[in-house]
Amino acid sequence: MSAAAPAPKSAGKKKHQRSDPKSKKRRWTAEERAARGRKPRRRGGSERSDSRPERKSFDRSERKSYGRPEGRKHDRSEHQSFDRPERKSYDRPERKSFDRSERKSYGRPERKSFDRSERKSYDRPEGRKHDRSEQRVERPERRNPRQPVEPVETAPATGGFAELGVASQLTERLAADGITSPFPIQAASIPDAISGRDVLGRGRTGSGKTLGFGLPLLTRLAAGRGGRDPRGLILLPTRELATQVSDVLRPLAQTLGLRTVLVAGGMSYGPQLKNLESGVDIVIGTPGRLIDLMDRGSLLLHAIEITVLDEADHMADLGFLPDVTTLLDAVPADGQRMLFSATLDRGVDRLVDTYLHDPSTHQVDSAQASVDTMTHYVLPVAPKDKRIVTAEVANRPGRTVIFVRTQLGADRVAEQLRYSGVMAGPLHGGLPQGARNRTLEAFKTGRLPVLVATDVAARGIHVDDVGLVLQVDPPADPKTYLHRAGRTARAGENGVVVSLVLPDQRRQVRRLARDAGVKAIELAARPGDAELAEATGGAPTSDARIDDRDFQRLIAPRQSRSGGRQGGVRRKGRPGDRQRHPRRSGGRPGGPSREKGSDKPRRESYDYRR
C-alpha cells in the first residue's frame, strides 16, 4: 500500500488569515460584537459604525462676554486713582558758610611768617657762600661705577706674542703650531689682561677671542702658586663651545704644568668629580653643571683669581644670566674679570656695570658684518628646485656648514644630501653628547665635509677653513645672521655666505641683510646654472646614493683594541689558539660532559684571563 502523497506546498507567499479570502474564519458583525460586550471595530471592514456625536467646531463669536458691554474696551483712565495729600516741604534755614577769619584764636599769639633775610648766619662772614668741598669726606672708590662704556677701536697687530708679555713657553708652543702673529683683539686685550685689569672685549665670533683671554689667564696663573682648589674659571654657554675652548687651552696649559678640567652638562659626573678631587688649576664649563657641583660641595670657588665670561650675549639669549650672576657672586670680589661679547644687549650691560671695575674696553668689529672678508649671495629659488640647488651648492670641495631652523629639518636635509650623493651629517641638541662629539670631530678632520646644524648647536663650532655657509632657512634676526656668517671667514680668511630665498621670503631676507649691514649679491638660482657654480664652487651631483651604514660607520664610537666589548667574552678565538678543553671520555672533544646520574650538563669554569 502506497503512502499518501504529501500536500502540495503553496507556490506563493502565505497570506494573513484575515486578508485571505479562502480562510474559514469569519469576522464578527457589529451586532455580534455588541452582544458579546466587545467594542466596535475602529479600522478595517465595511461595517464600521461610530456612535459618538460629531464635535462642533469652536466659534469665537459665541464666546461669553462675562457682563462686559459689547464692544467696549477697557479704559484705564476710569480707574480710580489713589488720593494722597501733597507733602509739605521741609523748611530748613540756609546754612552759613565757614569763615576762617572768624575762627577763635584760643589765646594764641599770631604766628609771624618766616623771613629768610632774618635767618642767623652762625658767625659766618657776610656774603660768603657755603662751600661743600671743604667738608667732603674721603670715601673709598666704588667697586661698580656705572659709567658708560666707550669702545676703543683696536689698531692692527704689529708685534709677536712675546712683545705682549706672554710666557716664553706659550710663545714657543704657538710658534710650533704655526701661530706667530696675534689678531687685533689679542694684541689689544692681552697686555691689559696680563697687567691685572678687567677687560671688556667686543667682537664677532672668529676674531680670536679664545687666545685673547686664554694666554693672559695661563701666564698669570703660571706666575703664582696654586693648591688643589681651582684659581681660574671660564664660563661658556654650550657644551660644544666649552669643548672647543678646552681643546685649545689644554695643550697650552700642559706646557706650563697647569691642570684643566671640562665641566659641562650631558657628560658623565665620574671623571669631573675625580679631576676636581685630585686638584685642578682651571675649570672650563657651563653654568648649570658648575652650580650643580657647587651644591654637591665638590667645587669650591673661594680661591678663584681670574674669571672669564665668553659669549655673554648668547648666555643672555639662552636665559643663563641668573646662573651667571650666582657664580660671579660666589667668586672673590677682588679678583680679575674678563668679559667677551658681540653685543651689550639683553642684560649684558648690567653685568658690565655690576661686576667689572674700570674695564679696559676693546672693539675690533662693529655690530654689522665686514664686507671685506665675506661675499654674500641671495639666491631666489623656486620651491621645486630648492632641494636640487642645496645639493649642488653643498657638492663642493672643502668644508661647508648648512643652517636650518629645527632639529627635524637638520635630519631631513642631511638625509636628502646623502640620498643625492653628498656626505652630510646633522648636529643639533636632540642628539646624544657622544654622537655630537663624534660628528664634530669627523667634520674637523675632513671625513665629513658637510655639516647641517641648528643655530644653538652651531655656536660651538670653532673650525677653521670653512669656505661656505649655506642658509637653507632664513635667520630670525640680524644678530643670528651675523653669528651664522661668523662660521666662515675666520682668522682673516675669505668666505662665502649663501642664502636660499623662497618667493614669500624675499622681503624678510632683504630686511635682515639691510639691518645687518650686508650688501648681498642677488643671483638667480637654477639647477645646473654655470654662474651659480662659479659663485659657490658647487657642482651637479652624481646621484650615487650614500648608504646610511656608511655614515653610521663614519661616526660610530671607537671599538676597543681587543675587537669586542670591554669586559665581555671574546666570541672568536685568534688563529693559533690551542684548544683549552681536554678530551673527555664518552663525548666529543671540547663538548660538555654530563654529571653521573643527571641529564644536565656540568657547568665548566671559564678562564677570563685569556
The predicted-structure confidence for 552-609, as pLDDT tens digits, reads as follows 988 887 654 444 444 443 444 444 444 444 444 444 444 444 444 444 444 444 343 3
What whole-number percentage of the chain has pLDDT above 90? 40
Q: Classify residue 258 by burial, with Cβ atoms within 10 Å: 0-12, 13-18, 19+.
A: buried
Task: Encode pLDDT of 205-217 as tens digits.
Answer: 666 788 999 999 9
388, 370, 421: which is closest to 542 by C-alpha?
Answer: 421
**pLDDT tens across 181-226, in order?**
898 888 999 999 999 999 998 876 666 788 999 999 999 999 988 7
In three-state secondary structure terms, 260 is: strand
Percent above pLDDT 70 for the chain: 67
How many Cα atoms occupy the beta-carbon half-sphere of 340 within 13 Å? 27
The average pLDDT across 163-167 equals 92
Give the helix/strand (H/E) hosting 314.
helix 312-318
Average pLDDT over residues 288-307: 94
Output phi, psi for 266, to 5 deg: 80, 0
Of 354-368, 371-385, 387-401, 458-472, highest mean pLDDT: 387-401
Maximum mean pLDDT: which of 106-120, 272-286, 565-579: 272-286
Question: In the prediction, which pLDDT does 575 show?
Answer: 43
> Mean per-residue pLDDT for 113-121?
65
Mean pLDDT of the chain: 78
- Answer for the pair 457, 314: CB distance below 8 angstroms, yes or no: no
Q: Is the pLDDT of residue 356 over 90?
A: yes
Band (52; pLDDT cuts 50, 70, 90): low
* Residue 270, H or E segment: helix 269-278
In DSSP notation, 319-387 reads T-HHHHHHHHHHS-TTSEEEEEES--TTTHHHHHHHH-SS-EEEESS-SS--TTTEEEEEEE--GGGHH
Relative to beta strand 199-202, strand 521-522 is unpaired
Distance (Å, rounded) from C-alpha 517 to C-alpha 479?
Answer: 11
Average pLDDT over residues 48-71: 64
In tens, the pLDDT along 124-160 reads 555 555 554 554 444 444 444 434 434 434 444 445 8
* Rounded Cα distance, 3 and 45, in Å: 44
What kind and span of H or E run contains 451?
strand 450-453
Could you tell me the three cell numbers for 398? 672643502
Pick the residue with more confidence: 529 or 56? 529
Residue from 460, 462, 424 nearest 555 by CA: 424
Q: Is the dihedral of CA 272, 274, 275, 279 positive or negative?
A: positive
Positive or negative: CA dihedral 235, 338, 304, 257: positive
Domains contained in the chain, CATH given: 162-363 (3.40.50.300), 374-554 (3.40.50.300)
pLDDT of residue 135: 46
Nearest residue to 396 (alpha-carbon basis) of 372, 437, 424: 424
- For the segment 311-325, the average pLDDT, to the nearest whole number, is 88
| Cα angle for residues 376, 380, 381 (degrees, 5° grid) | 125
Helix %, strand %, coil % for the chain, to 5? 35, 10, 55
Strand partners, 496: 375, 468
> In the structure grid, which three cell numbers stand for residue 545, read together?
646614493
Task: Print burial letters for 404-418: b (CB count within 10 Å at least 16), e (below 16).
Answer: bbebebbbebbbbbb
Tell me how crowded residue 83 is: count the other CB atoms within 10 A of its CB.
5
Name the most confidently modeled range: 40-54, 69-83, 254-268: 254-268
Largest CA distance in the chain: 169
Nearest 5°: CA angle at 24, between 18 and 26? 60
Q: How far apart are CA 66 and CA 553, in angstroms?
A: 107
Q: For residues 270 and 290, what is the distance between their CA atoms, to the nearest angstrom?
A: 14
State residue 141's pLDDT score: 47
List b or e across 39-59, with b for residues whose CB sees 16 or more CB atoms inside 10 angstroms. eeeeeeeeeeeeeeeeeeeee
pLDDT of 44 > 50? The answer is yes
pLDDT digits (tens, 9 = 90+) for 396-414: 999 999 999 999 999 999 9
Predicted local confidence at residue 57, as pLDDT: 72
d(CA 288, CA 321): 11
User: What does the pLDDT read at residue 568?
Assistant: 41
Q: Which pLDDT does position 69 carry in this prediction?
A: 61
**pLDDT at 483 (0 to 100):** 84
Q: Which of 7-16, 109-118, 385-394, 478-487 has the lowest mean pLDDT?
A: 7-16
- pLDDT score at 106: 67
CA distance 261 to 127: 70
The reported pLDDT for the residue numbered 429 is 83
Grid look-up 643655530 returns 455
- Residues 203 and 362: their CA atoms lie apart, in Å, by 8
- Place 373 in a pLDDT band, splitting at 50, 70 and 90: confident
Spatial CA neighbour of 417 closest among 520, 551, 566: 551
Average pLDDT of 318-329?
Answer: 91
Residue linked to cell 684548544:
579
pLDDT value of residue 469: 95
- What's the burial of 292, exposed, middle or buried (CB within 10 Å: 0-12/13-18/19+)? middle
Phi and psi at residue 496, to the nearest 5°: -125, 135
Enumerate the β-bridge partners of residue 184: none
Among left, alpha and beta (phi > 0; psi -120 to 50; other), residue 590 is left
* pLDDT greater at residue 13 or residue 312: 312
Q: What is the pLDDT of residue 487?
A: 85
Reported as a single tens digit per residue, the pLDDT across 378-400 is 999 999 999 999 999 999 999 99
Q: What are the pLDDT digits (tens) for 79-107?
A: 666 666 676 666 677 777 767 777 666 66
